[in-house]
Amino acid sequence: MASMKTVNELIAGSVGGAAQVLVGQPLDTIKTRAQIAPSSKGPMDILIRTLQKEGFFALYKGMASPLLGIAGVNSLLFASYGASKRLISPYPDLSLTQIAAAGALAGAANSILASPVEMFKVRMQGQYGSPGDKRLRIVASEMWREWGFKKGIMRGYWVCIVSRRNVYMYAHLIAGYEFAKRKFAEKYGPQIPIWALLASGSVGGVAYWLSCYPLDVVKSRIQLRATPPVGTPVQYILREFKDVLVESGRFSGLFRGLVPSRKIPAAASTFAAFELTREYLEEWTGV
C-alpha cells in the first residue's frame, strides 16, 4: 500500500511541478535578472525592458529545463515528503513540527535533482536577447565540456548543501502550507475549496522565501559566473555574500528580486495541482 501511495505522490508531484513552471516562470525570470544585475532600477524596470527588447515570451526563457526537470524534482520532493511522514510517524495526523521535519528531509533529497535544473535555468535567464544567445542544449553541452559535472552541471549544489538552503526552505514551505490548510479545514471541513488550497500554497510560498532568500541570491550569482568558484564551499559562499553587500552598498542587496518572486503563485498552483491530482488518483487506485 505504501508503494502505491508513493506512485500516486510521484505522479501528482509531476503535475504540480508542471503547474509551478507554467505559472511561476515569468516572475522567476524577473527575479533572477534582478539578482544578477546590480545596476537595474528594480523588478518593474527589468520587466519593461525585457518586454520592449525581447518580447513577452522572453519571460519564459529557460523554461525547457525546469519544465522537464521540475516535474522530476517535484516527484522526488513529494514522494520523499510522503515517505518521510510515514517514517516519522505511522499515524496520519502529524504535528506541525513533525510536518516541518518531513519537509526538511524531503528538501535534502530534492537538492540532488534541483541543482542541475536550477543551473541551466539561471544560465538561460541570464541571456538578454542578443544574437549570441544560446539554446539550452548548447548551454548544457558547454558547461559539461568546459567544467564537467561537479563544477559545471552541479554548480550551486554546495550552496544548497553547506547552507542547508533546501532543508530550511522546504521545511518552511510545507509547514506554512499545512498550517494554513488546517486553519481552512477548521472552517470548511476536510474538503476545503480550491481557492483555500491556493491561499494555503501562497502562505507556504511566503514562508519559503522569507526563510533564507539571501542564499538564493548567492546561488544564482555563483551559477551565472563565467568560471566556477574557487576555494571551499564555505569560503566562496561567504565571499559572494561580501560581493553582494559591496556592490549594492546595503544589506537590502541580499533581498534583490524578492518582491516579484514566483514562489508565491507557483507554490499556490503547485500544491493545488498536487492535491487535486492526488485526490483523483486515490479515488482511482483506492489508496
Q: Model confidence over 23-69: pLDDT tens digits?
A: 877 887 787 777 766 556 677 788 888 888 888 877 877 666 666 66
Contact (Cβ atoms closer than 8 angstroms) between residue 129 and residue 53:
yes
What pTM was estimated for this model as a whole?
Answer: 0.74
Confidence of residue 283 (pLDDT cuts 50, 70, 90): confident
- Tell me phi and psi for residue 285, to 5 degrees: -95, -15
Q: In this structure, are residues 86 and 48 in contact, taking their beta carbons and an 8 Å threshold?
A: no
What's the number of CA atoms in the CB half-sphere (13 Å) around residue 181? Answer: 20
Residue range(s) defining the domain that contains residue 203: 2-285
The confidence band for 261, taking pLDDT boundaries of 50, 70 and 90, is: low
One-letter identity of residue 23: V
Read off the pLDDT of residues 74-129 as tens digits, 9 standing for 90 and up. 888 888 898 899 899 888 889 999 999 999 888 887 777 777 777 777 777 777 66
Greatest alpha-carbon pair distance for the chain in Å reads 58
- State how far the Cα of 287 lies from the Cα of 278, in Å rounded to an integer: 10
Q: For residue range 223-252, list pLDDT tens digits in order.
A: 777 778 787 777 888 888 888 888 877 777
| Residue 52 CB neighbour total at 10 angstroms | 8
* CATH number of the domain encompassing residue 267: 1.50.40.10
Phi, psi (deg, nearest 5) at residue 176 = -65, -45
pLDDT(142) > 60:
yes
Quote the crossing angle between the two packed helices 64-88 and 2-36, to the nearest 10°.
Answer: 130
Locus of grid cell 563565467: 226
> Comparing C-alpha atoms, which of 53, 213, 29, 42 is closest to residue 122?
29
* Rounded distance between C-alpha atoms, residue 50 and residue 28, angstroms: 13
Computed on alpha carbons and rounded to an integer, the radius of gyration of the chain in Å comes to 19
Q: Tell me what pLDDT residue 219 has.
A: 81
Q: Angle 113-63-112 (CA atoms, 0-180°, nearest 5)?
A: 5
- For 93: left if phi > 0, alpha if psi spans -120 to 50, otherwise beta; the answer is beta
User: What is the number of domains present in the chain?
Assistant: 1
